[in-house]
């Protein structure tokens, strides 16, 4: 019996050796440097300096923060070639209690970091493939304004606060696009989105006013309702929504302005204005491709998701009406039965 155990062990050793040889050949075919001991942290520094320099300040800060906070301490000291999907899953699990958005940022950072290593033939496969974030079972946040809430904003606000809300409700601009809009961008009942203003240091505006993506640059029709509000706006600056003194707006200045909006509709956030515009497009029968352009989405799936969400809400409302109808019909039927018995 003992020789059989030795043969079995020897068989395993031979198989393991063959697998190792195959892995080396595979690595050679991929252009990998055999015995390359580059650490994740070492490659991350090169990756950030090479691939992420030149992006908008807020985007660069997102990658740096995601790496420093969630990636470096977990896998930074591991060799690139030794990182397995289990390491990435452990990393994502470590921030499972955080928001889904934060988890997405951590996974996106990891995925891009390892994909660039793969494309540079430092690893054979991306260990982030197939990894998913932890979904939170929390009630969905309200994403749009009701017709009554829109009317409240448009009838109770004035000045810059009214202008901000009107540009969101009637043109679907993002907050940063509203703040970057200049009077020269409006002509012939159309406005063109040419720039955006963000606040990478949490107060002062970023000198880089480039748009989020190429798709963000678009020309949008100005409906009469928006034109009327813009005609009453003060023109004391190059920008349509400047600081109170006409200078470049800061984040603190915008927060002060926005506080006037939340007094009218508590809990409102700027993106709800944009979603309300998307709702208007949907109910006006605007096709999906046109909606993608008007909303400035680079991927039609993003516009489709918004349209699908709105459609589901309409179905939910219809379900309530159907339930109410059948309930009333049942009540009428019961009355008829009672009446028949009395007769």
Domain contains 83: yes
DSSP class per residue in 209-232: ---SSGGG--EEE--HHHHHHHHH
Q: Which of 167, 190, 171, 170 is nearest to 179 (CA)?
A: 167
Residues 171 and 286 reside in one and the same domain: yes
Do 209 and 216 form a contact (C-beta atoms < 8 A)?
A: no
Burial category of 216 from C-beta neighbours within 10 Å (exposed 0-12, middle 13-18, buried 19 and up) = buried
Q: pLDDT value at position 27? A: 52
Q: Which of 247, 244, 232, 80 is nearest to 166 (CA)?
A: 232
Does the pLDDT value for residue 120 go beyond 60?
A: yes
CATH code at 123? 1.10.150.130
Structural domains counted in the chain: 2
Task: Report the C-alpha gap between 142 and 265 in whole angstroms.
Answer: 13
Residues 214 and 108 reside in one and the same domain: no
Which sign does the torsion angle of CA 173, 177, 183, 184 carry? negative
Domain contains 179: yes
Which sign does the torsion angle of CA 317, 323, 327, 329 carry? positive
Q: What is the pLDDT of residues 198-211, one digit of tens each?
A: 887 668 888 889 88
Domain contains 324: no
Task: Report the C-alpha gap between 42 and 280 in whole angstroms.
Answer: 49
Domain contains 120: yes
Residues 132 and 154 reside in one and the same domain: no
Which sign does the torsion angle of CA 87, 92, 97, 102 carry? positive
Cα–Cα distances (Å) from 81 to 20, 37, 40, 47, 74, in that order, read 14, 8, 9, 16, 15
Convert 171-197 to b/e letters by CB count within 10 Å (16 or more is b): bbbbbbbbbbbbeebbeeeebebbbbb
Question: φ and ψ at 79, to 5 degrees?
Answer: -65, 140
Domain contains 290: yes
Confidence band of 32 (pLDDT split at 50, 70, 90): very low
Residues 151 and 245 reside in one and the same domain: yes
Q: pLDDT value at position 222? A: 95
Residues 123 and 159 reside in one and the same domain: no
Q: What is the pLDDT of residues 163-175, one digit of tens each?
A: 999 999 999 999 9
Q: What is the pLDDT of residues 14-28, one digit of tens each?
A: 776 676 666 655 655
Q: Which of 295, 312, 327 is the last residue of a domain?
A: 295
Instruction: Look up the domain containing 223 and give its range.
Output: 147-295
Residues 162 and 280 reside in one and the same domain: yes
Residues 57 and 84 reside in one and the same domain: yes
Question: φ and ψ at 312, to 5 degrees?
Answer: -65, -40
Domain contains 303: no
- 188 sits in the region (left: phi over 0; alpha: psi -120 to 50; else beta) called left
Q: What is the pLDDT of residues 278-300, one digit of tens each?
A: 888 888 888 888 989 999 988 88
CATH code at 217? 1.10.443.10
Residues 87 and 59 reside in one and the same domain: yes
Does the pLDDT value for residue 330 go beyond 80?
A: no
Q: Which of 81, 104, 136 is the last residue of a domain?
A: 136
Do 96 and 90 form a contact (C-beta atoms < 8 A)?
A: no
Q: Which of 73, 101, 136 is the last residue of a domain?
A: 136
Which sign does the torsion angle of CA 105, 268, 150, 183 carry? negative
Residues 155 and 57 reside in one and the same domain: no
Q: What is the pLDDT of residues 254-272, one digit of tens each?
A: 999 999 999 999 999 999 9
Residues 201 and 257 reside in one and the same domain: yes
Does the pLDDT value for residue 180 go beyond 80?
A: yes
Domain contains 318: no
Residues 210 and 281 reside in one and the same domain: yes
- SS3 label, residue 313: helix
Distance from chain centroid for Cα 143: 13
Q: What is the pLDDT of residues 205-240, one digit of tens each?
A: 888 898 888 999 999 999 999 999 999 999 999 999
Residues 128 and 172 reside in one and the same domain: no
CA angle 85, 301, 111 (to 5 degrees): 20
The pair of structure tokens assigned to 270 is 């700027």
Q: pLDDT value at position 138? A: 61
């Amino acid at each position: 019996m003992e020789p059989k155990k030795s043969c079995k062990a020897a068989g395993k050793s031979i198989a393991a050796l063959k697998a190792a040889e195959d892995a080396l050949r595979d690595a050679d075919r991929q252009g990998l440097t055999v015995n390359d001991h580059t650490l994740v942290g070492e490659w991350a520094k090169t990756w950030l300096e090479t691939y992420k320099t030149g992006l908008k300040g807020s985007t660069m800060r997102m990658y740096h923060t995601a790496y420093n906070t969630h990636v470096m301490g977990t896998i930074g000291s591991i060799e690139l070639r030794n990182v397995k999907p289990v390491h990435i899953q452990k990393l994502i699990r470590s921030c499972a209690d955080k928001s889904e958005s934060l988890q997405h940022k951590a996974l996106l950072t990891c995925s891009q970091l390892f994909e660039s290593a793969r494309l540079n033939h430092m690893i054979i496969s991306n260990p982030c493939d197939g990894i998913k974030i932890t979904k939170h079972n929390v009630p969905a946040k309200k994403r749009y304004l009701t017709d009554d809430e829109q009317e409240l904003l448009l009838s109770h606000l004035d000045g810059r606060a009214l202008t901000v809300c009107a540009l969101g409700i009637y043109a679907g601009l993002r907050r940063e696009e509203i703040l970057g809009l200049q009077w020269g961008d409006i002509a012939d009942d159309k406005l063109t989105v040419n720039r955006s203003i963000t606040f990478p240091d949490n107060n002062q505006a970023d000198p880089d006013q480039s748009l989020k993506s190429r798709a963000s640059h678009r020309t949008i029709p100005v409906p009469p309702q928006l034109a009327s509000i813009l005609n009453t706006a003060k023109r004391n600056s190059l920008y349509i929504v400047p600081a109170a003194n006409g200078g470049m707006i800061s984040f603190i200045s915008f927060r002060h302005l926005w506080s006037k909006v939340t007094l009218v509709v508590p809990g409102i956030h700027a993106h709800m204005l944009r979603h309300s515009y998307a709702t208007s497009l949907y109910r006006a029968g605007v096709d999906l491709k046109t909606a993608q352009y008007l909303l400035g989405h680079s991927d039609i799936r993003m516009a489709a998701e918004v349209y699908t969400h709105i459609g589901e809400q309409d179905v939910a409302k219809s379900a309530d009406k159907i339930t109410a109808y059948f309930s009333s019909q049942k009540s009428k039927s019961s009355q008829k039965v009672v009446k028949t018995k009395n007769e």
